[in-house]
């Protein structure tokens, strides 16, 4: 198999010259003729799209131990032997993701329910300790990730397009479980009653029966239910997952009230900050207050970005039956630092970990405050700023789609044309923030007041912002009754793209 590095490329797709995707093919595999053929095609297309494909020996940093350097994707095209898996040659799965290519149909096709479909894929990922897997069949190939994406692509002459638009975003922005140690961890410091958060936390309990009725919140793929080749590989998987007991899908979140001040015009900002302000690239700081410059159409605003706090479900809990004494954690974005507080008095055996979606949740919360500040400036009578300052807001995520025509007035959909990155990535957080601003712009151009937004993550799911978890659950049930909500199982690329248009 030819492995080299392209001199130049004018067709980079979703990668850029500043931060190119780099891959290498793991040579210690037993590959079928079909997998070998697929791997050759994939390498040729990756090279043509500007991806750097390294010869395996050239990215070894420790030849005696055959250890690979970080910051690249390892592709294992074929079956690997125990004791010589690709993971045996990487230092950290968080910085060196691995993709496997397997001969045969995706096992999700033979599974009955959606939970069973997801479990069947996760079983493969766990057995080979890989982050992404491609199943290669006669006339289809299916891309699956550890956060539940199952995308089937047909051999219809669009192989290069599908690699560019579906596979590359999954490789360039891989699912990486956040570790509590990544944040300002405050174990046992969340006292709902003492902090005055109990009323907001009860929104989880009150809305629980309705979320259970929707059937959208999948439960848990237990680590104990998965088969590993030996205890060593099980320990690697556990460390990668930050010692979670498993994986679950979807989240519920309740943003706490936040003070909202009207955004400034560009002229007012210039007068306020003056020549001595320390703003650059559209960001300013004055004392402890932070500001961001926002352009909406022909208007220019400078909005304050306050600290935000969000109660959210802990990773792995049953989202339809939330016990607020043990299943609710507190996230904060405080002066650019993520704070993670766990409940006081929780049994140490409880798997209390931050949601995979932590950054996306906080991006939505910060964007809500910016949107509210702009609305308060241009539409002083708007309800959204008052709602956010008095009662906060709510956010729900599940793996599925919503028909835009079934949404109530005032809810704006965005994100349909974004690359299909997963909700646990930095990219998804950026799309959440900028998408909410585009949703506000669309709302200002229309007749309906801004009530909330639906952030579409293509081939993955949706994040919906509203007044409360109870209000969102009632709204979703009404949309389900109209046939406007679907869960993702095995997704066919054309049907998903058509639904999101």
pLDDT surpasses 60 at 175: yes
Say which residue, 28 or 114, is predicted with more confidence: 28
Q: Is the pLDDT of residue 403 over 80?
A: yes
Residue pair 313/328 in contact by the 8 Å Cβ criterion: yes
Task: Give the residue-averaged pLDDT of 193-208.
Answer: 92
Q: Pick the more confident residue, 371 or 492.
A: 371
pLDDT tens, position by position, 275-302: 555 556 788 888 888 999 999 987 899 9
Are 12 and 51 in contact by the 8 Å Cβ rule? The answer is no
Mean pLDDT value of segment 229-250: 81
Q: pLDDT, tens digit, for every residue of 306-348?
A: 999 999 998 878 888 899 998 999 999 999 899 999 998 877 5
Which SS3 state, helix, strand or coil, does residue 156 take? coil
Residue 72, CB-side half-sphere exposure with 13 Å CA sphere: 25
Fold of 194-260+306-500: L-fuculose-1-phosphate Aldolase (3.40.225)
Read off the pTM. Answer: 0.89
Q: Where does residue 298 rank: exposed (0-12), middle (13-18), buried (19+ CB within 10 A)?
A: exposed
For residue 225, the tally of other CB atoms under 10 A from its CB is 12
CB-based contacts of 112: which residues, under 8 Å, 6+ apart? Answer: none
Rounded CA separation 129/123 (Å): 10
Taking the domains of the chain in order of start, what are their residue ranges? 22-172, 194-260+306-500
Show Cβ contacts of residue 309 under 8 Å, excluding neighbours closer than 6 positions: 255, 256, 258, 330, 331, 332, 365
Residue 248 banded pLDDT, cuts 50, 70, 90: low
Which tens digits make up the pLDDT trace of 351-391? 788 888 999 999 999 999 999 999 999 999 999 999 999 99
């Amino acid at each position: 198999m030819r492995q080299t590095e392209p001199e130049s490329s004018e067709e980079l797709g979703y990668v850029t010259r500043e931060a190119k995707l780099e891959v290498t093919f793991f040579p210690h595999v037993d590959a079928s003729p079909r997998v070998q053929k697929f791997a050759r095609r994939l390498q040729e297309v990756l090279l043509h799209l500007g991806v750097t494909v390294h010869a395996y020996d050239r990215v070894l940093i420790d030849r005696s131990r055959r250890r690979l350097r970080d910051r690249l994707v390892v592709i294992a095209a074929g079956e690997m032997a125990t004791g010589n898996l690709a993971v045996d040659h990487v230092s950290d799965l968080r910085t060196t993701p691995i993709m496997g290519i397997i001969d045969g149909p995706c096992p999700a096709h033979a599974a009955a329910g959606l939970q069973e479909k997801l479990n069947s894929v996760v079983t493969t990922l766990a057995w080979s300790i890989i982050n992404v897997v491609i199943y290669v069949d006669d006339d289809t190939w299916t891309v699956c990730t550890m956060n539940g994406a199952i995308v089937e692509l047909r051999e219809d002459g669009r192989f290069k397009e599908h690699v560019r638009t579906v596979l590359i975003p999954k490789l360039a922005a891989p699912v990486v479980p956040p570790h509590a140690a990544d944040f300002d961890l405050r174990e046992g410091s969340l006292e709902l009653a003492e902090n005055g958060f109990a009323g907001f936390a009860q929104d989880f309990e009150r809305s629980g029966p309705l979320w259970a009725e929707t059937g959208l919140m999948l439960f848990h793929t237990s680590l104990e239910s998965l088969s590993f080749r030996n205890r060593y590989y099980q320990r690697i998987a556990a460390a990668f997952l930050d010692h979670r007991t498993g994986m679950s899908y979807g989240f519920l979140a309740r943003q706490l009230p936040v003070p909202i001040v009207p955004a400034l015009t560009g002229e007012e900002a210039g007068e306020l900050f003056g020549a001595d302000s320390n703003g650059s690239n559209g960001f300013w700081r004055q004392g402890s207050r932070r500001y961001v410059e926002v352009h909406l159409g022909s208007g220019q605003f400078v909005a304050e970005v306050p600290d935000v706090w969000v109660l959210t479900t802990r990773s792995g809990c049953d989202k339809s039956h939330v016990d607020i004494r043990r299943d609710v954690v507190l996230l904060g974005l405080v002066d650019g630092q993520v704070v993670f507080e766990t409940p006081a008095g929780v049994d140490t055996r409880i798997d209390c970990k931050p949601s995979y979606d932590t950054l996306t949740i906080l991006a939505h919360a910060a964007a809500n405050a910016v949107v509210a500040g702009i609305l308060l400036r241009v539409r002083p009578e708007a309800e959204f700023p008052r709602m956010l300052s008095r009662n906060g807001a709510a956010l729900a995520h599940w793996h599925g789609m919503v028909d835009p025509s079934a949404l109530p007035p005032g809810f704006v959909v965005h994100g349909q044309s974004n690359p299909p990155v997963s909700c646990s990535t930095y990219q998804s957080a950026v799309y959440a923030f900028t998408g909410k601003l585009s949703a506000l712009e669309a709302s200002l151009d229309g007749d309906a007041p801004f009530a909330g937004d639906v952030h579409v993550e293509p081939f993955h799911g949706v994040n919906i912002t509203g007044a409360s978890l109870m209000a969102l659950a009632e709204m979703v049930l009404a949309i389900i009754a109209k046939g406007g909500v679907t869960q993702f199982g095995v997704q066919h690329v054309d049907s998903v793209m058509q639904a999101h248009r």
